[in-house]
């Protein structure tokens, strides 16, 4: 008695649709003179949403949205060894060995780590963010070797950004779920220009200088939100994050080919990637619903979107069984491996 | 899913004597764990035997469990003879069940509150200062002793305000409570048989309630739900309102610590039908209460002290508990089983407390938790069709409702097709307002129903003939509009996919299928809607407009029952979403029903925004915004499907 395709589509419409609608309208409103840059992985469905709405005349974007295959891990790797990276890369929770940190947060392979860092250092245990200064101190002597190791990645990312035309032309408007804009800040420095970020939620609104550019962050549903304050679109954002992913998973490396093309490397796949055909139904249902609403001039307030998200993420049984297998998220970044947010939040 | 005949005559007054052999057997089998039991239910016992005795007592009427290895509620539900016989599940299992090959399952919580109130078990200083009245309405004299016994462990002294029905010995009542160690003052009033329990309480004592911090109301009247005495229900309520000292102390602590708590009662009796937490037939009376108490909106599914027994802070029932009442304010007996001012009053208590800014809180006997989480009211709708399939398939004849059972509307709102037609008629210059047209069209329907003295049902073509007279057009023109209304509705008809699949599956596995609908649409029109929804199995279609009978009045069910008498004992099950028409009415007539959630009920049960109420119900912008979401979330009628 499982009507899976229909169930997935309608789940997508109700779970993701209202937030998509509000977000897409905000992208349109803030898009003048800017090119929407949909950051991987969440950007994968944003790019499809915006392209669909734009193509069907539901919104008008001055520039076509672009999908940018980046991740925190990729940019951390590319910028490894630079002073400006440490506050961004070592501020989030982590507990484990330095080897684990190098692997999981900076995307180094084991042999890479061992080739540039002493065994004694790799075996040391570290707890972040408490030991951030220790980590910097320990890594400092090895910076030249680290930079040399990741130089091909840095070159690949820079070439990729240039190939997409992001270093010149209209200002990039980075689109992502949120929250502190780490990717945007690093891209701002690498692009050497001002960027605007439009997120579901921001934890800290800022217009900080990053190298030659200023990264401005804006939250559509809430700004300056804090973890643990009971705002479920942040506290239980893992549920949105689980679904809002790309079929290829996390980008961990990019290399420029000799013919000017690019070769991407991806991290391990979570269930959402393995069952991407189901996730596609969820996205399609949501996008189709948003298009219908836009045709009918329907709008939602942020409060309505928040209330629906809270209901879905706090009520047992609100998320239908047909979608349970999609709720897995790769949290290797924090050393947690694959997480199941439904189990984590006991829903 | 079934309207159980759950109550039997009270078998025994005294607590069961602990059989040491049984206790040892239970412990040896790992089925009774005194330590776990004590921790789970927050009560200290001097010995395992005392804990076992407490379990044996409560488990006869409440879903308490002896250990994680034995689910008492499941045992009672599997073996209704044990429940009817008011035996403790584990007691029965050890004495007879094991030998008989009966099965038991490990503890499987059916509902877990999403928030718990961590309350101290020792009475707080503030709680010990509470001034409390116990308001008891005694219709059956044997309850004098039962209530007095239940007060034995009351941790604070109370005043007892009694109302005694004719024939109840007033001297005995006064003497019993006057001598009670926990009672400071006793007052008795002899009362007429009017207003059930609420009339005597409010007429006699409303003027005194404001002198107390709290009052607790219980009554002895043994309702005859489904024709049998409900002593287990009364035992359940008495236990968790008065008798269980651990529960009582924690409840008093909660009231003393939190001024926003207004009403307390245990979660609805566990063996009641799944739809009991609903307005049922009381909507009209509920509206009257809402208007007089200025309550803007009350959901169809609602939390209320089912059984009319509760604790309240008098201020939380302002507007009810502080009015000057007289017996003439209440309806005379005999009253129906459901659908009266009094049945509505019971249901409006929680709503009024919340209307005044107070919260309700509950004791959940199965988990031993206090909580303010109201989702228990729809807990029985969690699950999936697959879970219920064996029970459904065990019947040979299965009938289904149509709207919101087999088919749904794209935007949920039933009148949206009429509004669309109204908009079209505005464009044609026939009417000036789409909403006015809907009102006219519905009025024409009402006129016909009234003309027929609300007997039977009417067809949509008759409605449009009537409308032709009202709008001064030919009947042919009006019939064209009728056709268009149907087409507009048909265009929005979608399958409830899982339910249609169930229907077709049952058809292909040899079940006899009936489809029964209360509707103004003709048989052919309903048939076309079912065809569009993919209903392919063979079925007999009964629609009220053609049969001249209705489900919600019971006449259709009388016909169904007659038809079933010719089915040579083949068992029948009805599946539908309307609490009254598809569950309560047929249940009252002894038919077996499986109630499923209406999309809007599921939407509300999930705590989604309060939408499509009042004037929003026919606001097209609101319909377009929320209607599809309600329809999508409600497509599958189970929560957590």
Rounded distance between C-alpha atoms, residue B515 and residue B510, angstroms: 16
- Give contacts of A 12-51 with B, CB under 8 A: 13-14, 17-18
Query: Please, is A147 exposed, middle or buried when counting C-beta atoms within 10 Å of its C-beta (0-12, 13-18, 19+)?
Result: middle
A53-87 pLDDT, tens digit per residue, is 999 999 999 999 999 999 999 999 999 999 999 99
Rounded distance between C-alpha atoms, residue B155 and residue B248, angstroms: 8
Tell me if A202 sits within 8 A of A217, measured CB to CB.
yes
Question: Cα dist. A192→A79, A186, A212, B417 in Å?
Answer: 14, 10, 5, 57
DSSP symbols for A32-68? TTEEEEEETTTHHHHHHHHHHHHHTTSS--SS--EEE
Tell me if A12 sits within 8 A of A283, measured CB to CB.
yes
The DSSP bridge partners found for residue A39 are A68
Q: How many Cα neighbours within 13 Å face the side chain of B609?
A: 20
Of B385, B621, B628, the CB nearest to A1: B385
Rounded distance between C-alpha atoms, residue B88 and residue B579, angstroms: 31
Cβ neighbours of B211 (radius 10 Å): 11
- Does a cis peptide bond (omega within 30 degrees of 0) precede residue A103? no
Residues of A whose CB is below 8 A from B640: 316-318, 320-321
B268-288 pLDDT, tens digit per residue, is 999 999 999 999 999 999 999
Using CA of residue A28, residue A31, residue A33, residue A36, what is the dihedral sign? negative
Of A14, A289, A307, the CB nearest to B633: A14
Rounded distance between C-alpha atoms, residue A158 and residue A153, angstroms: 9
What's the DSSP call for residue A210?
Answer: E
CA distance B612 to chain A (A): 14
Tokens for A167?
């270093």
Tokens for A164?
């997409």
Using CA of residue A164, residue A167, residue A168, residue A174, what is the dihedral sign? positive
Interface membership of A282 toward B (CB under 8 Å): no
B349-379 pLDDT, tens digit per residue, is 999 999 999 999 999 999 999 999 999 999 9
pLDDT, mean of residues B23-29: 95
Rounded distance between C-alpha atoms, residue A220 and residue B452, angstroms: 57
Q: Is residue B335 classed as helix, strand or coil in its secondary structure?
A: coil
The order of strands in the sheet holding B369-371 is B183-190, B158-164, B132-138, B214-219, B310-312, B261-266, B359-364, B369-371
Is residue B9 pLDDT above 60, yes or no?
A: no
Q: Could you tell me which chain A residue has the CA closest to the CA of B383?
A: A317
Using the beta-carbon criterion (under 8 Å), do A1 and B389 form an inter-chain contact? yes
Question: Which of these, B462, B270, B498, lies nearest to B362 by C-alpha position?
Answer: B270
Q: Is residue A338 classed as helix, strand or coil in its secondary structure?
A: strand
Rounded distance between C-alpha atoms, residue B341 and residue B347, angstroms: 10
Question: Which of these, B399, B605, B628, B411, lies nearest to B502 by C-alpha position?
Answer: B399
Using the beta-carbon criterion (under 8 Å), do A316 and B633 form an inter-chain contact? no
Q: Is residue A203 classed as helix, strand or coil in its secondary structure?
A: coil
Query: What's the confidence (pLDDT) of residue A333?
Result: 65
Tell me if A198 sits within 8 A of A173, measured CB to CB.
yes
The DSSP bridge partners found for residue A216 are A196, A207
Using the beta-carbon criterion (under 8 Å), do A6 and B382 form an inter-chain contact? no
Tell me if A323 sits within 8 A of A46, measured CB to CB.
no
Question: Which of these, A86, A90, A73, lies nearest to A131 by C-alpha position?
Answer: A90
CA distance A316 to chain B (A): 7
Query: What's the confidence (pLDDT) of residue B11?
Result: 41
B588-616 pLDDT, tens digit per residue, is 999 999 999 999 999 999 999 999 998 89
Is residue B1 pLDDT above 60, yes or no?
A: no
Question: Which of these, A268, A264, A247, lies nearest to A255 by C-alpha position?
Answer: A264
Interface membership of A112 toward B (CB under 8 Å): no
Tokens for B375?
């989702």
Which residues of chain B approach chain A closer than 8 Å at the C-beta?
A: 112, 114, 375, 382, 384-386, 389, 497-498, 501-502, 505, 606-609, 621, 624-625, 628-629, 632-633, 635-636, 639-641
Q: Is residue B135 classed as helix, strand or coil in its secondary structure?
A: strand
Question: Cα dist. B379→A254, A298, A331 in Å?
Answer: 51, 33, 33
Interface membership of A301 toward B (CB under 8 Å): no
Rounded distance between C-alpha atoms, residue A328 and residue A201, angstroms: 21
pLDDT, mean of residues B392-413: 97
Using the beta-carbon criterion (under 8 Å), do A315 and B385 form an inter-chain contact? no
From the candidates A317, A320, A324, A347, which should be mutated to test the interface with B, based on the most B CB atoms within 10 A? Answer: A317
Q: CB within 8 A of B510, min separation 6: which ones?
A: none
Rounded distance between C-alpha atoms, residue B369 and residue B375, angstroms: 14
Tell me if A5 sits within 8 A of A278, measured CB to CB.
no
Residues of A whose CB is below 8 A from B382: 316-317
Is residue A182 pLDDT above 60, yes or no?
A: yes
The region, left, alpha or beta by phi > 0 then psi within -120 to 50, assigned to residue B607 is left
Rounded distance between C-alpha atoms, residue B302 and residue B276, angstroms: 9
Tell me if B97 sits within 8 A of B22, measured CB to CB.
no
CA distance A347 to chain B (A): 9
Using the beta-carbon criterion (under 8 Å), do B628 and A300 form an inter-chain contact? no
Is residue B3 pLDDT above 50, yes or no?
A: no
Query: What's the confidence (pLDDT) of residue A2?
Result: 73
pLDDT, mean of residues A161-185: 93
Of the pLDDT bands very low, low, confident and very high (cuts 50, 70, 90), residue A108 is very high
Size of the A and B interface in Cβ pairs below 8 Å:
83
Question: Cα dist. B616→A18, A294, B87, B591 in Å?
Answer: 19, 20, 51, 36
Q: Is residue A254 classed as helix, strand or coil in its secondary structure?
A: strand
Percentage of residues in chain B having pLDDT higher than 70:
96
Rounded distance between C-alpha atoms, residue B159 and residue A273, angstroms: 67
pLDDT, mean of residues A175-199: 94
pLDDT, mean of residues B181-203: 96
Question: Which of these, B309, B351, B318, lies nearest to B196 by C-alpha position?
Answer: B309
From the candidates A14, A311, A314, which should be mutated to test the interface with B, based on the most B CB atoms within 10 A? Answer: A14
Cβ neighbours of A265 (radius 10 Å): 15
Nearest 5°: the CA angle B551, B498, B525 is 45
Query: What's the confidence (pLDDT) of residue A3?
Result: 74
Of B606, B635, B641, the CB nearest to A315: B606
Tokens for B354?
């919340």
pLDDT, mean of residues B498-521: 96
Tell me if A201 sits within 8 A of A222, measured CB to CB.
yes
Rounded distance between C-alpha atoms, residue B265 and residue B307, angstroms: 10
Query: What's the confidence (pLDDT) of residue A268?
Result: 79
Q: Supply the ipTM of this predicted assembly.
A: 0.86
CA distance B176 to chain A (A): 48
Using the beta-carbon criterion (under 8 Å), do B624 and A317 form an inter-chain contact? no
Tell me if A334 sits within 8 A of A94, measured CB to CB.
yes
A202-256 pLDDT, tens digit per residue, is 987 556 878 889 999 999 999 999 988 899 999 999 899 889 888 888 899 999 9
Of the pLDDT bands very low, low, confident and very high (cuts 50, 70, 90), residue B230 is low
E runs forming strands in A104-165:
125-128
Is residue B4 pLDDT above 60, yes or no?
A: no
Rounded distance between C-alpha atoms, residue B301 and residue B293, angstroms: 19
pLDDT, mean of residues B168-188: 96
Query: What's the confidence (pLDDT) of residue B641?
Result: 83
Using CA of residue B348, residue B351, residue B353, residue B359, what is the dihedral sign? positive
B88-106 pLDDT, tens digit per residue, is 999 999 999 999 999 999 9
Rounded distance between C-alpha atoms, residue B536 and residue B406, angstroms: 12
Using the beta-carbon criterion (under 8 Å), do B382 and A316 form an inter-chain contact? yes
pTM for this model (two decimals): 0.89
pLDDT, mean of residues B76-91: 93
B120-161 pLDDT, tens digit per residue, is 999 999 999 999 999 999 999 999 999 999 999 999 999 999
Cβ neighbours of B424 (radius 10 Å): 17
Mean pLDDT in chain B? Answer: 93
Q: How many Cα neighbours within 13 Å face the side chain of A267?
A: 29
What's the DSSP call for residue A127?
Answer: E
pLDDT, mean of residues B489-499: 97
B198-209 and B341-355 helices cross at what angle (nearest 10)? 30
What's the DSSP call for residue A13?
Answer: H
Of the given ranges (A265-269, B40-44, B76-80, B248-252), which has the lowest mean pLDDT?
A265-269
Cβ neighbours of A311 (radius 10 Å): 19
Tell me if A299 sits within 8 A of B362, measured CB to CB.
no
Is residue B8 pLDDT above 60, yes or no?
A: no
A276-295 and A17-30 helices cross at what angle (nearest 10)? 60
């Amino acid at each position: 008695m499982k009507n899976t395709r229909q169930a997935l589509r309608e789940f997508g419409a109700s779970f993701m649709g209202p937030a998509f609608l509000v977000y897409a309208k905000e992208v349109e409103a803030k898009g003048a003179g800017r090119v929407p840059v949909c950051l991987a992985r969440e950007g994968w469905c944003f790019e499809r949403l915006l392209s669909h709405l734009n193509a069907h005349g539901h919104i008008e974007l001055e520039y076509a949205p672009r999908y940018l295959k980046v991740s925190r891990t990729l940019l951390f790797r590319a910028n490894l060894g630079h002073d400006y990276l440490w506050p961004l890369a070592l501020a989030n929770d982590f507990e484990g060995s330095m080897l684990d940190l190098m692997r999981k947060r900076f995307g180094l392979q084991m042999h890479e780590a061992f080739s540039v860092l002493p065994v004694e250092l790799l075996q040391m245990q570290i707890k972040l963010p408490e030991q951030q200064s220790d980590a910097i101190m320990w890594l400092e002597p090895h910076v030249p070797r680290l930079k040399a190791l990741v130089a091909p990645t840095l070159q690949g990312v820079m070439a990729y950004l240039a190939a997409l035309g992001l270093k010149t032309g209209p200002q990039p408007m980075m689109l992502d779920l949120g929250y502190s804009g780490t990717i945007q800040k690093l891209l701002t420095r690498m692009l050497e220009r001002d960027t605007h970020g439009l997120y579901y939620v921001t934890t800290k609104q800022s217009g900080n200088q990053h190298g030659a550019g200023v990264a401005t962050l804006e939250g559509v549903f809430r700004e300056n939100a804090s973890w643990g304050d009971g705002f479920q679109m942040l506290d239980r954002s893992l549920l949105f994050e689980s679904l809002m992913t790309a079929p290829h998973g996390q980008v961990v490396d990019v290399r420029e080919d000799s013919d000017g093309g690019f070769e991407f490397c991806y991290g391990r796949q979570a269930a959402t990637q393995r069952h991407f055909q189901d996730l596609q139904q969820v996205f399609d249902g949501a996008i189709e619903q948003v298009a219908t609403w836009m045709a009918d001039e329907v709008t939602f307030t942020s409060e309505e979107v928040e209330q629906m998200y809270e209901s879905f993420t706090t009520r047992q049984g609100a998320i239908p069984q047909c979608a349970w297998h999609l709720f897995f998220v790769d949290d290797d970044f924090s050393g947690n491996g694959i997480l199941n947010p439904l189990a984590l939040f006991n829903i | 899913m079934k309207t159980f005949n759950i109550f039997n005559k009270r078998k025994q007054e005294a607590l069961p004597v602990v059989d040491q052999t049984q206790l040892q057997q239970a412990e040896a089998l790992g089925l009774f764990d005194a330590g776990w039991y004590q921790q789970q239910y927050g009560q200290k016992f001097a010995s395992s035997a005392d804990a076992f005795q407490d379990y044996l007592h409560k488990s006869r009427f409440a879903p308490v469990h002896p250990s994680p290895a034995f689910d008492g509620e499941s045992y009672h539900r599997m073996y209704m003879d044990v429940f009817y016989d008011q035996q403790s599940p584990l007691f029965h299992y050890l004495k007879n069940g094991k030998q008989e090959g009966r099965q038991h399952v490990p503890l499987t919580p059916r509902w877990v509150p999403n928030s718990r109130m961590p309350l101290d078990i020792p009475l707080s200083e503030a709680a010990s200062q509470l001034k409390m009245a116990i308001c008891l309405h005694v219709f059956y004299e044997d309850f004098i002793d039962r209530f007095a016994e239940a007060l034995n462990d009351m941790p604070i002294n109370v005043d007892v305000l009694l109302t005694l029905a004719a024939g109840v010995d007033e001297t005995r009542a006064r003497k019993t409570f006057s001598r009670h160690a926990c009672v400071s003052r006793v007052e008795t009033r002899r009362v007429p048989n009017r207003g059930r329990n609420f009339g005597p309480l409010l007429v006699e004592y409303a003027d005194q309630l404001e002198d107390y911090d709290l009052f607790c109301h219980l009554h002895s009247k043994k309702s005859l739900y489904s024709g049998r005495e409900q002593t287990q229900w009364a035992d359940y309520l008495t236990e968790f309102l008065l008798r269980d000292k651990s529960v009582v102390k924690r409840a008093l602590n909660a009231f003393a610590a939190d001024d926003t708590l207004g009403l307390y009662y245990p979660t609805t009796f566990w063996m009641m039908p799944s739809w009991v937490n609903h307005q049922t037939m009381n909507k009209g009376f509920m509206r009257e209460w809402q208007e007089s108490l200025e309550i803007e909106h009350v959901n169809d599914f609602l939390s209320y002290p089912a059984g009319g027994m509760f604790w309240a802070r008098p201020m939380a029932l302002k507007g009810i508990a502080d009015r000057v009442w007289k017996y003439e304010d209440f309806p005379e007996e005999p009253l129906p089983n459901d659908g009266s001012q009094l049945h509505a009053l019971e249901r409006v208590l929680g709503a009024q407390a919340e209307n005044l800014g107070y919260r309700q809180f509950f004791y959940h006997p199965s988990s031993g938790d206090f909580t303010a989480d109201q989702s228990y009211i729809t807990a029985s709708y969690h699950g999936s069709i697959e879970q219920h399939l064996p029970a459904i398939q065990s019947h040979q004849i299965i009938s289904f409702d149509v709207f919101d059972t087999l088919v749904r509307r794209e935007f949920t709102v039933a009148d949206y097709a009429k509004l669309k037609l109204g908009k079209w008629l505005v464009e044609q210059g026939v009417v000036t307002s789409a909403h006015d047209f809907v009102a006219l069209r519905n009025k024409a329907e009402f006129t016909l129903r009234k003309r027929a003295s609300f007997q039977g049902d009417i067809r949509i073509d008759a409605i449009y003939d009537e409308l032709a007279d009202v709008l001064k057009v030919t009947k042919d023109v009006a019939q064209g509009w009728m056709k268009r209304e149907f087409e507009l509705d048909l265009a929005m008809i979608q399958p409830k996919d899982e339910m249609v699949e169930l229907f077709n599956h049952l058809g292909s596995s040899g079940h006899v299928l009936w489809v029964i609908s209360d509707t103004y649409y003709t048989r052919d029109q309903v048939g076309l809607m079912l065809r569009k929804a993919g209903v392919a199995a063979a079925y007999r279609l009964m629609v009220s407009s053609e049969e001249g009978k209705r489900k919600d009045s019971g006449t259709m069910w009388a016909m169904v029952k007659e038809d079933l008498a010719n089915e040579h004992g083949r068992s029948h099950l009805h599946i539908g979403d309307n609490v009254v028409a598809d569950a309560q009415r047929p249940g009252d007539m002894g038919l077996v029903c499986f109630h499923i959630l209406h999309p809007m009920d599921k939407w509300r049960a999930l705590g989604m925004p309060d939408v499509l109420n009042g004037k929003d119900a026919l606001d097209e912008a609101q319909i377009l915004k929320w209607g599809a979401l309600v329809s999508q979330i409600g497509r599958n009628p189970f929560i957590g499907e």
